Structure 1
Amino acid sequence: MPRLLVSDPEALVALERDHGLSLAALLHEHPDAVATSGYGAGPLAAIERALRKRVDADRAEDPRHTGVGMRHVHRQFEPAWLAADDTRFELIGVVNRMDREVFARATTGDGGPRSFGETRLIYRLAYTRTQKGTTVDSRLPMTVNVVFWQRPDDAASERPELQRRWAAPPGLAGAELASWLRAPGHALAPALLEASLLEAVEINVQTERWPSTIRPDMAGHAEYLLEVFHREGDRWVAAPLENTPDVKRLARDAETREALRAWLVAPDQRASLDAGTIVVPERFLATAATSVTPRGFARLANRPWSQLFTPDDFADYEFEGMQTVRSPRALLRRLDGLSCQGCHASRSIAGFHLLGAERDPDKAVDALAVFTSPHLEGELERRATWHAAVLAAEPPSEVRLLSEHERGRGRWGTRCGLGDPGFADWTCDPGLSCTALTDPELGTCLEPSPAGVGGVCELGTIKARADHHRDRVTKIETSPCAAGGVCNDNRVGFPDGMCAFACASAGPEGACGVIPNLRGFNDCLAADRPFAQCLVDTATPAGMRACSVDAPCRDDYICARSGSDAGVCLPPYFLFQLRVDGHPR
């Protein structure tokens, strides 16, 4: 079977260090540069300009409260990190996307050479610096995705030949895997990563975070900038975002908005809409998008299509015979899930789907136990099935399920229908009930009250607006934890609350971890003390929900290392590497 995701840290380090696949070597004028300050000309300069434009605009909206650092209540990404002497981009994943051939055909048409999908190299911003005499090494909430077309070597090549490029011998790992991938005829051979095959450079960056002390009803708030850059000669320019409508422009232009609706409901789009392979024409698309967390599709900002259309706009659509889109609300949710901000808000890790394995296997503080999102894990299963069909010389299915309804359906923490016919078969396993949280269309499969370890202990109603700064959770009611449990609520950063217990009482679904005291922890960071020391000084042991790839956390929580064999479910911004604030300057 071809490799679908290369995430082995030793192999990735070797690809960077020994095989010319650092971000500098791949796309910038100084290939030997280690720190971002030395990269020189290339896409990073355009990315920095775009980020400065964004953070400056945000600061201009509220200059009294917005800025870089803990003294601000609206805490921003520091663009200077992209030109610093102690920051770098680390390769965190190589992704085989042969399965995106269907999108390539829709984009390039029949006029050019055929593409068999994409190869993606994903990098993450990181730094090493000294703070109060302590060496601090951390990643930051920013990824850069470098995308190349996969093309055949000659006109006779077909899918099986390309699959063999990725079919590294079973068990091959580390430096040996890196050498194999870079060898002629294999997936990352120099000839297959030439400039002529470069499709795009994509970014996902947390530009701003508001702590839960500022947004206690929401358990905090964070914003992410999503942009794609294409090379035009010596310039890097923002490009249209796949399936992401330009909401501001279309909201003002009723004629173009109606043209988009008519295009969507045309018979030619029926099959691709149902399969999740639709490709919206560029004339309707935006060149930048903002994703927000927490609370996913309960936030209108993450649903651009639902800002432009209502279910009534598709009331006459014929859903008979469709597999995945079976009601107007399901149609809009499908479209929202195919947009950039909708995808990054669906069963993600704080707005990301791949954050990279920890390079230090012994790192216990500020460390992820699971670095892939539930959505990505479901996608990897679908892609494996796709490749198995190709290997068997069978037509592969191109159907993608809705982004929130993939792997482990019906288990604890997964999504379930609240009555709309489009989600009628989204049910929970025996012993679990579909609990309405803040999403009006989908609930979450949870045990009945009183809640056990990791369970929900606050229920509320969200009032979501297109201006995400005005979103509010109202009518918050406490739901009881089981005997011995304590509710960590929205005010201290736990979306929908989380029941925690004494470590000895966590039961088979729990594991022992630590929860920092919010005020003491933030005061410690504000005093410019190292994150790890602040965590040690202010944290209390607690029994929390145990987690793994096969037992993911519920939405808006991540699986963090706990010092034991199991990970524990925590709010994402309790990890230093997932927030823009509190880092040494």
Structure 2
Amino acid sequence: MPTSTHTTTEPNPSSGPRKRSVNAVSKAAVSLSSDSGYYVVAGDNMPCPLNADLAQAAKWSCNATRNLTCQALVTNAATSSNLGQCVAAAQNVAAGLSCRSNVIEDSTAKTAANNPFGFNLRAFSDRVSKEELVYKLSEGKLSGYGYNCRPTKIGVPLGRVTRPCKPEEASLAVIRPGSVPEEICAIVGGKGFEQMAKGYFDSGIFAAGVGRGLLNTCSPSRFCREDYICQQMPDFVTSARFNVSAPALNNLRSRKIGFCTPTYFVYQLRLDGHPNPR
């Protein structure tokens, strides 16, 4: 996770201009050796430079061996510079990927173009004026084991690829020692989270209300998108309802394998004030 507290008002690759940690980009692009820094390719969903805003020596690229390309998933005419996102090819669609592109209607351009305070102060009134699918995926109710692009309005900006877990995936027994999977049958929001959002919280109700779904994994060497966090698989998955064995859970924890989840599912914190999709 980023350790720097220094912030700057750069455009957010997932939602337009917002305050963000400088280290969120630098950590995605730079790997430090004992004696010097050097650039490495960026992985799925990670930021990437789109144009000539950066000097050539400061640029980095998406991982071509994974068929990732830098694409502008967010367009905001009010920003002077933009970052893209490393996007997988259609044949490599997997859980956790961004799956929608947005055009942002920026309130700053209308109300405070020359007011430095207006840049973040009025960001809450930005809106998504246009949204399109990146991949040809279903958008409606989850069914079967086909991938689905979940809508932004449920709390996943730029959408998110997921699908129901197969029985063998739900037990986590398919995750073998020595291998780090790209996908995992994780914990997803349900009625328990909705109850918490109303202003009161009961851990028992929350645990009973959450569901399972296939999401992307994270580890010390595999990062989440900058507005997500890496969450450890919770203890309650070993209950009779979820039927995950203690050894399977301990295997994940000992290897520091988690799953990427929105910050507000854990902290009740939005990192960058994503614009209202409605």
1:432 maps to 68
Conserved? CA contact 1:377–1:407, under 8 Å: no
Q: TM-score, normalising length from structure 1?
A: 0.31
Shift of 1:496: 0.7
Alpha-carbon distance in structure 1 between the residues aligned to 2:41 and 2:229:
19
Alpha-carbon distance in structure 2 between the residues aligned to 1:568 and 1:407:
25
Conserved? CA contact 2:49–2:61, under 8 Å: yes
Shift of 1:470: 2.2
Please list the CA deviations of residues 284-334 of structure 1 after superposition, one character each: whole Å capped at 9, or x if unmatched.
xxxxxxx79x9468544x4xxxxxxxxxxxxxxxxxxxxxxxxxxxxxxxx
Please list the CA deviations of residues 217-238 of structure 1 after superposition, one character each: whole Å capped at 9, or x if unmatched.
xxxxxxxxxxxxxxxxxxxxxx
Among 198, 221, 224, the residue aligned to 1:550: 221
Shift of 1:562: 1.8
2:184 maps to 511
Equivalenced residue count is 209
Cα distance change on mapping 1:575 and 1:375 into 2, 3 Å: farther
Among 64, 87, 94, the residue aligned to 1:446: 87
1:537 maps to 208
1:498 maps to 160
Q: How does 1:5-24 map to 2 (within 5 A)?
A: none
Shift of 1:501: 2.2
Alpha-carbon distance in structure 2 between the residues aligned to 1:527 and 1:378:
39
Alpha-carbon distance in structure 1 between the residues aligned to 2:7 and 2:46:
25
1:463 maps to 105
Output the aligned Cα RMSD: 3.9
Cα distance change on mapping 1:495 and 1:407 into 2, 3 Å: farther
Alpha-carbon distance in structure 1 between the residues aligned to 2:87 and 2:99:
11
More helix by share: 1
Cα distance change on mapping 1:512 and 1:408 into 2, 3 Å: farther
Among 195, 201, 206, the residue aligned to 1:523: 195
Conserved? CA contact 1:457–1:489, under 8 Å: no
Shift of 1:526: 2.6
2:35 maps to 385
Cα distance change on mapping 1:243 and 1:515 into 2, 3 Å: closer
Alpha-carbon distance in structure 1 between the residues aligned to 2:70 and 2:7:
30
Shift of 1:445: 1.2
Shift of 1:407: 6.1
Conserved? CA contact 2:184–2:214, under 8 Å: yes
The unaligned stretches of length 5 or more in structure 2 are 77-81, 109-118, 139-144, 175-180, 235-248, 272-278
Question: Larger relative contact order (C-alpha < 8 A, sep ≥ 6)?
Answer: 2
Cα distance change on mapping 1:484 and 1:471 into 2, 3 Å: same
Alpha-carbon distance in structure 2 between the residues aligned to 1:377 and 1:414:
7
Alpha-carbon distance in structure 1 between the residues aligned to 2:53 and 2:124:
32
Cα distance change on mapping 1:579 and 1:435 into 2, 3 Å: closer
Cα distance change on mapping 1:471 and 1:525 into 2, 3 Å: closer
Shift of 1:570: 0.9
Cα distance change on mapping 1:381 and 1:475 into 2, 3 Å: same
Give the number of the structure whose alpha-carbon radius of gyration is greater: 1
Conserved? CA contact 2:14–2:157, under 8 Å: no
Q: TM-score, normalising length from structure 2?
A: 0.60
Shift of 1:499: 0.7
Identity of aligned residues (%): 23
Partner amino acid for 1:449?
Answer: A
Among 546, 553, 569, the residue aligned to 2:260: 569
Conserved? CA contact 1:415–1:426, under 8 Å: no
Alpha-carbon distance in structure 2 between the residues aligned to 1:416 and 1:575:
27
